[in-house]
Chains A and B, each alone.
Chain A
């Protein structure tokens, strides 16, 4: 079949052999798109491989099972973000930045990431609830990331003299961002205008910075003015 037309595509397939990293990325990209659109149960490994342009056997060789592929598709971007964030801020002296910049960098980045992968994260939440995802090794996929964030938050709090329940506060902060990003359609009336991304981020930052920094101060009972 592949005869005649000189520089036809079939000849190039071998010449530009893809590296394992490229194959992995192609598969992850296809997996993200299909899991987001159809959920865990609705997306087949056959369709994912087809969309990625690789064989199903190669998919299994790279990821082992469908559940593992699913997990990597969702968790890799989140892991990368949190590691990079913690790495960057852990090495800075707290004297060089204020509480707002370290908080804003987290909220802004995490909210952006979760909004971008909203359907995919929802697919994991619901798959854990209703589909037997026992093959997924990690029932609590964010827990090691939360430990890293907790140690960063603890160091910041100690350096700045803030007093709060670091273990719970780290979860509350992450929960707030997840709630705003994932429940988007529930919280804002469809078809109506929605506050801009900037307003949403600013409000979460304000809650977090002022909510963590001033625990020892009294709350004014009434307006003085």
Chain B
């Protein structure tokens, strides 16, 4: 029942946006009662969050598992670009698949109330935090220097997200777009070479005032 509801929710939210989708419609399409929908998910906003966040969290968990395995094998046995490629390709495919759903979330987040509860702001942040530990281990065993890891993780995520979702902005209309592999290859090259070739001695020094209070992200009102 849960799976049916989530599938129906994904299709409906993607097609009509958050405000345009009713729980009645979602329940109907899933072939269950609306009461059951609420019993499973509490509110429309929570259903929405689960519909989007579950696939993302699954991806991050699977990826972390692979990476831990990779870290337990010798560094020479794994091509340096493998972790970057798995991350970029996996994330890009996932975000492409759920492109409309992500648009719905962006729009809902910006203009509709009721979705913002439950710590949904910064909701990706927790999953991204979990990547820090493995990235740090990998960066250090390959001897890469000068990487500001929490920021680097977010910059690469932002890059993949923009390429997956903002493609209409980034590629000229009416012209043939580069294929998926070409886009993924370019992002992987950015990431691998951008991490590997920073000059030694260019250590990141995070000054005491660098995270100053004025930069605290505003809580969603």
Verify that A and B bind, or say they do not. yes
Binding site for B on A (CB under 8 A): 38-39, 42, 119, 122-123, 125-126, 128-130, 139-143, 146-147, 164-165, 167-169, 171-172, 174-176, 178-180, 182-200, 202-204, 206-215, 217, 219-225
- Which residue from B111, B159, B191 sits with its C-beta under 8 Å from A175? B159
- Residues of the B chain whose Cβ atoms lie less than 8 Å from the Cβ of A225: 143
Q: How far is the CA of A119 from the CA of B185 in the complex (A)?
A: 31
- Which residue from A167, A178, A191 sits with its C-beta under 8 Å from B166? A178
Contact A195 B211 (CB under 8 A): yes
Q: How far is the CA of A214 from the CA of B199 in the complex (A)?
A: 11
- Residues of the B chain whose Cβ atoms lie less than 8 Å from the Cβ of A186: 109, 121-125
**In the complex, what's the smallest C-beta–C-beta distance from A202 to chain B, in angstroms?**
7
Contact A188 B169 (CB under 8 A): no
B148's closest neighbor in chain A, by CB? A203
Contact A212 B154 (CB under 8 A): no
Contact B216 A191 (CB under 8 A): yes
Contact B211 A214 (CB under 8 A): no
Contact B196 A122 (CB under 8 A): no
Contact A223 B148 (CB under 8 A): no
Q: List 7 A-B contacts (CB under 8 A).
A: A140-B169, A143-B169, A165-B185, A193-B212, A199-B148, A219-B192, A220-B196
Q: Chain B 126-151 against A: per-residue CB contact (8 Å), 1 yes, 0 no?
A: 10110000000000111100111011
- Residues of the B chain whose Cβ atoms lie less than 8 Å from the Cβ of A147: 172
Q: How far is the CA of A175 from the CA of B217 in the complex (A)?
A: 21
Identify the stretch in B1-9, B42-50, B61-69, B73-81 within 8 Å (CB) of chain A at 4 or more residues.
B73-81
